[in-house]
């Protein structure tokens, strides 16, 4: 059994405060941990169909993004399986297609990886600024630790770097 190809994909717009949290998180994960060869970390920015090549090359896709849920800013969510399929939409998406549609398109084109999303409730996602809000910036280490723990449950081990 070959090792699964894992893609950890941080998405969002880094120009709109917390909207860029997913990208900040994937960069932090790359900086603070060393990863096995079968794991790729990618800053996916605000793309839709352009992400298909990378998504279709993966067996397991982990999306890091901001999610509007019922909780207070900084609440961290896990969305998987049917949750993803049925009840998500992207508000004001600038994707040609939103991420869920992109996943469906991957399926139509031949391969849709197993996917889960680790999301965080944003504080401000509308003000134009390349900085996260302080409360979400403070959440980065905890968020990354949860991503690492979630992957560890699936047998994928990341090692903290000495400098982190």
Tell me the sheet residues that pair with 35.
Answer: none
| Smallest gap from residue 162 Cβ to another protein (A) | 27
Task: Tell me if 47 contacts another protein by CB under 8 A.
Answer: yes
Q: Count other C-beta atoms under 10 Å from residue 101's C-beta.
A: 16
Nearer to another protein, 116 or 162 (CB): 116
56: part of which helix (H) or strand (E)? helix 52-56
- Total site size for another protein, rule CB under 8 A: 66
β pairing state of 159-160 and 114-120: unpaired
- The answer to whether 72 contacts another protein (rule: CB under 8 A) is no
The DSSP letter of residue 162 is T
Residues in the chain: 164
Stretch 3-32: interaction string toward another protein, x if CB under 8 A: --------xxxxxx--x-------------
Q: Are strands 39-45 and 159-160 parallel, antiparallel or unpaired?
A: unpaired
The residue (of 52 and 137) whose beta carbon lies closer to another protein is 52
* Contact range with another protein by CB under 8 A, out of 30-38, 108-116, 132-140, 152-160: 108-116
């Amino acid at each position: 059994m070959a090792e699964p190809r894992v893609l950890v994909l941080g998405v969002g717009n880094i120009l709109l405060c917390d909207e860029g949290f997913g990208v900040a998180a994937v960069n932090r994960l790359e900086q603070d941990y060393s990863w096995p060869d079968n794991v790729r970390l990618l800053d996916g920015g605000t793309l839709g169909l352009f992400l298909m090549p990378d998504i279709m090359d993966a067996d397991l896709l982990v999306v890091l993004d901001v999610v509007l849920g019922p909780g207070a800013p900084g609440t961290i969510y896990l969305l998987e399986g049917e949750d993803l399929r049925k009840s998500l939409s992207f508000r004001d998406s600038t994707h040609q297609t939103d991420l869920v549609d992109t996943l469906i398109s991957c399926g139509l084109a031949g391969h849709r990886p197993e996917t889960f999303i680790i999301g965080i409730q944003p504080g401000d996602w509308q003000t134009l600024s390349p900085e996260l809000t302080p409360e979400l910036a403070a959440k980065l280490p905890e968020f990354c630790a949860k991503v690492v723990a979630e992957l560890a449950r699936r047998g994928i081990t990341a090692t903290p770097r000495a400098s982190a």
